[in-house]
Structure 1
């Protein structure tokens, strides 16, 4: 090899190494896991969190009122809070969080996040809810948990395709199978795609968001939970960001943590007392509560009955006329409106309506003798759209193939319980069961 050839080869190698290094740096600093959540009033604020694999030199978030032009000099820039996190395999991540404040209700904003000395996301839009009586909707999904990319993806994206302008998407726990596993959260974000960049997410803790850390026998909340979700701090001390409430237009949405409630009588009482306080002092027309482990269960798997939750929470729901209770855990669909402890509700009306749903591929059956639900769905992936228009709430359940599987309305009545209008019943519409009409996988043909 001549001297010139050697020099040319060294120059080529150096250029490739430089380009590769720059590419690796850029990939490490490109914002990932961008997600909208709330930690303050939705009509006046919007939180956003993102992650990089290496520390951004000058992280920043920018915001402006959206319009049709690509130019807008009135940019608001916010420097994020930065958190360094190491996972169980000692890999480092950097999380950035900002909350845009003093926003106007009923407006559409554009925003981007990134690094002034590196890469930015594209401009995305979000809309603040109106303070008036405009109709609004939101999406509710049960457990994703397993095989997230293969099967969870279609449920999340089918829900978004059905209602792309919904106010938010709620997950009723078990987003992943192992709460401390970075790869599973990567799959969850990949499955969501661009959805959390334009639609706020309300996550609920499930039992699989808790896991043991290496060297410990005590389950703890996912390392990633507080880092990647900016959530309200209005819950009981020590349970902030897993127990909270959000007032969204005419609805108070209350989120509870059943893993901690089932941990001890003391933890259960703390949440019960807090629940009573936020329902007693509730100015909203509609009340929706969400948590993971259901009050009623007919599932044929383990860990399906929680009488301590029923004894503590059901009387509170009934006392303050909670409208909907959105649950997960049982890996099936169930809807019931005749489960009462302390009240008598006339025919054609409803107290709290209890829902269980599943969005992922893991499916349980039921023990028929323990059936509590009026409408049942097995071996099927579902998502739900809830629409509120003044004094009327419309609840619609769809399969991932777009079939309307369940449908009912609640109508507010002065000094009485909600009028209950059932549009699909199991008497008139066949139920999805396991092959051969079986109620569990074991007896499927």
Structure 2
């Protein structure tokens, strides 16, 4: 099924070749070998009892496996590993299938086929540290990685980042590493789309995996498909149809939602992390969002989690240029507010924006929200990579009839966010890449009522292009 879905979603790589660090040919970390690489953990199934792992090898590795064991202090945990057979598939990088026909990539961007492998480790104990390793060809093992299963309930922290997209190895690498320094206990990393600039180019994924290194293997990812994970199926296609990168499904093993159309399998999904948290992922690249809207509404109504987070790439409330999505807002905002979603995490606009909405009071708070105020939903747009846009001149003033109020904004900065959940409190802190706090909120929930306990939004001064270092749009 995974192979079929990959073929259906494949697209051509017939795109201009971009220079890479001087364009001296493929870097040594790009080519697939007998050794496993691009190892990434994700969620599939109950995170308290399972997690998934995917990795890559050369195409001649057609069958392989992984091992898992309790991460005890004993020196030879490798003697206790339980073996799990991998699901393997071949991915052609020089010729892919789109709309039923083969399309070749440009000759100077071609690579040999690769094999992608994945496993799901099941039957695990909640809130328990496990060690695992994955194999390439026979005897070619990765190092042992450690990751912890979700608790049934209890305090957790996780990391959220907006678009990495450009300069991923050179400049985004410091953001993901700074995020780990700020939250080494993070249970997962949520990537809100545009992980790379051109989702069909293998070199860009090579850089993404190298930038995060062992973090991808130890801290499970919740990836969101952005518009840059989609490419035109055929440059000559007058309809300009876009298809999901042929690398997405092989390299991220994600939940399959039977109630959703095939086109969004493994790009729209739910992670029921614990009794305290449900995360719902949408694919806002689709021309028809109605099936996802219906699915989300049903999922939210059925959710029993204390906190519910929705993540998508395109923001409900735009924060940059002429990038507004009125149709998406008209469809999704009523569902978010009717179901009292706590937090909406987004990317796309390459700025920082955080706003609050009180669905019960449509008149906006002109002076903003203060500690003690009630609220319904917090909306965040953020960017973790070096590509930056100017903030909308009108801010969120034109969205005022909805009741939303922009509380904090920023330009010309790479950000990451650490979010904590502890019983009836949700804490949110945004940091710049140098580890300095830029924004902080604490929300307390008592029954159906949510109140602001903390709303730090003035220090340091608001980042703008005119009060920060000179900026030049990157050409990576």
- State whether TM-score is above 0.5: yes
Alpha-carbon offset, residue 90 of structure 1: 5.8
In structure 1, C-alpha distance between the alignment counterparts of 2:432 and 2:163, rounded to whole Å: 14
Give the counterpart of 1:355 among 380, 385, 399. 380
Distance 2:457 2:318 in 1: 19
2:403 is aligned with 1:377: no
**Among residues 259, 281, 298, which one is paired with 1:277 in the alignment?**
298
Match of 2:271 in 1: 246
Number of residue-to-residue matches in the alignment: 408
Residue in structure 1 matching 2:228, options 196, 202, 208: 208
Q: 1:298 to 1:34 in 2, by over 3 A?
A: closer
Say whether the 8 Å CA contact 1:345–1:351 is kept in structure 2.
Answer: no
Deviation at 1:370, TM superposition (A): 3.7
**Deviation of 1:37 (Å):** 0.5
Unaligned runs of 5+ in 1: 1-25
Give the corresponding residue for 1:365. Answer: 390
SS of the counterpart of 2:135?
A: strand
Structure 2, unaligned runs of 5 or more: 1-30, 94-104, 398-405
Of the three residues 186, 197, 201, the one matched with 2:206 is 186
Post-superposition offset of 1:216: 5.8
For residues 198 and 76 of structure 1, what CA distance do their matches in structure 2 show?
Answer: 18
What residue in structure 2 maps to residue 306 of structure 1? 325
Q: Work out whether 1:255 is the aligned partner of 2:281.
A: yes
Q: Taking CA–CA contacts closer than 8 Å with sequence separation of 6 or more, which of the two structures ends up with the larger relative contact order?
A: 2
Which of the pair has more CA radius of gyration? 1
Could you tell me whether the CA contact under 8 Å between 2:337 and 2:376 is conserved in 1?
A: yes
Are 2:32 and 2:56, in contact at CA under 8 Å, matched by a contact in 1? Answer: no
Tell me how far apart the structure 1 counterparts of residues 243 and 453 of structure 2 sit (CA, whole Å). Answer: 42
For residues 20-39 of structure 1, the aligned pairs below 5 Å read: 28-39=33-44
| 1:143-175 Cα shifts (integer Å, max 9, x gaps) | 011111111111111111111111100100000
Q: How far apart, in 2, do the equivalents of 1:359 and 1:168 lie?
A: 16
Computed over aligned residues only, the root mean square deviation of the Cα atoms, in angstroms, reads 2.4
Displacement of 1:74: 3.5
Is the 1:139–1:383 Cα contact (8 Å) retained in structure 2? yes
Given that 1:85 and 1:93 are in contact with CA atoms closer than 8 Å, whether structure 2 keeps it comes out as yes
Do residues 86 (structure 1) and 99 (structure 2) align? Answer: no
Which residue matches 1:62?
Answer: 67
The answer to whether the 8 A contact 1:364-1:378 is kept is yes
Report which stretch shifted further, 394-403 or 369-378. 369-378
TM-score, scaled relative to structure 2: 0.81
The one of 145, 148, 160 equivalent to 2:165 is 145
- The counterpart of 1:230, out of the listed 237, 247, 253, is 253
**Kept after mapping to 2: 8 A contact 1:365/1:441:** no
Q: Does 1:75 align with 2:81?
A: yes
* Equivalent position to 2:462, from 427, 431, 443: 431
Number of the residue aligned with 1:10? none
Alignment of 1:68-147 (within 5 A): 68-72=73-77, 73-87=79-93, 88=105, 89=110, 91-115=112-136, 117-132=138-153, 134-147=154-167
CA contact (8 A) 1:318 1:343 kept: no
Q: What is the distance in 1 between the residues matched to 2:447 and 2:204?
A: 47
Q: Following the alignment from structure 1 to structure 2, what is the Cα–Cα distance between the partners of residues 28 and 247?
A: 35
SS in 1 for 2:45: coil
The alignment partner of 1:177 has SS state of: coil
